[in-house]
Amino acid sequence: MSTVPQVQSPNFDEFLAYEGPVVVDFTATWCGPCRMISPLIDQLAQEYEGRARVAKLDVDESPDTARKFEIKSIPAVLVFKDGALVERIIGAVPYEKFSSALERHL
């Protein structure tokens, strides 16, 4: 089971108000590629614990937040720094793509 917290629309802006980088995996339970990268997002959260904040957001539970960030296909992993979107990774990609994106913003 995932140890990565689920974030939802009502507390999304509060979640982004973190001093370091914030990674949000826009996902859905019915999405096969999302399930494929889920363990990678869990690994990212563990590896960067204390240096970055990592969460998952279910697009079906928070459609307004998904719309706000123009999520048109999932999985979509967004990296934020100081509350601003700095990187967008779409699709099932290798772990290194996520970690190198995060490293650029530490």
The answer to whether 25 is a known catalytic residue is no
CATH 3.40.30.10 fits 9-104, yes or no: yes
pLDDT band at 6 (very low <50, low <70, confident <90, very high): confident
| Catalytically annotated residue among 22, 23, 24, 31 | 31
- Please give the mean pLDDT across all residues of the chain: 93
Residues 40, 51, 9, CA angle at the centre, nearest 5°? 70
Q: Is 82 left (phi over 0), alpha (psi -120 to 50) or beta?
A: left
Q: Residue 76 pLDDT more than 90?
A: yes
Its pTM stands at 0.93
> Is 31 an annotated catalytic residue?
yes
- The active-site residue, picked from 4, 22, 23, 34, is 34
